Amino acid sequence: MSIPLAELVEHTGADIGVSGWYPLTSEHVERFAEATRDFQWIHLDAERAADGPFGGPIAHGMLTLSLLPTMVTDTFAVDGADMVINKGFDKVRMGKPVPVGSRVRGAMRLAEVRLRPKGYTEVTLDVSVEVEGAKGAALTAEMIFLYHAEVA
């Protein structure tokens, strides 16, 4: 979905799309563990994790969270902005484990639009990440962006 910057406020409260599916393979999990130095066995040791609380290895919650910017940009575009800044997250919750080898996708809703000084528009998206074939959200978050357009 693509919305002109000047019309964003008119779409407040609207569902704006669902991303494609993103696989979370053991290779993704291993590379994320290496990058973050989070080597906990529930993520990396398939044999031990099989007897653990989740019945197998699970992806890092932060790995799932790190996919949100890509999910959003693949789903939602703002026309007329010359710069986009990922301002951060509010109310992040990891509700369900994401089994290694599963696929996830994000659904977005335009929660709030605020006009800011100097040509900035602050946009809050409610994002919910689901695991293919599972019920309930694996992750929910409010994601905040600043869109900028030159002021005439």
**What percent of the chain has a predicted confidence (pLDDT) above 90?**
94
Tell me whether residue 119 is in a domain: yes
151, pLDDT greater than 80: no
Domain that holds residue 95: 2-23+64-148
Tell me what pLDDT residue 19 has: 97
Tell me what pLDDT residue 136 has: 95
Tell me whether residue 89 is in a domain: yes
1, pLDDT greater than 90: no
85's tokens: 């800044």
Residue 69: strand, helix, or coil: helix
63's tokens: 């790995």
How many separate domains does the chain show?
Answer: 1
User: pLDDT band at residue 150, thresholds of 50, 70 and 90?
Assistant: confident
> CATH no. for residue 70?
3.10.129.10
Tell me whether residue 56 is in a domain: no
User: pLDDT band at residue 67, thresholds of 50, 70 and 90?
Assistant: very high
Considering only residues 124 and 1, tell me which one the structure prediction assigns the higher pLDDT. 124
Are 109 and 126 a contacting pair, CB within 8 Å?
yes
Tell me whether residue 82 is in a domain: yes
| Averaged pLDDT for residues 50-69 | 97
User: pLDDT band at residue 29, thresholds of 50, 70 and 90?
Assistant: very high
Tell me whether residue 58 is in a domain: no
Tell me what pLDDT residue 146 has: 96
Mean model confidence pLDDT for the chain: 95
Q: Are strands 137-148 and 120-131 parallel, antiparallel or unpaired?
A: antiparallel
Tell me whether residue 139 is in a domain: yes
Tell me whether residue 39 is in a domain: no
Q: At residue 119, what are phi and psi to the nearest 5 degrees? A: 85, 10
Are 96 and 129 a contacting pair, CB within 8 Å?
no
- What's the predicted TM-score (pTM) here? 0.91
Tell me whether residue 140 is in a domain: yes
Tell me what pLDDT residue 152 has: 59
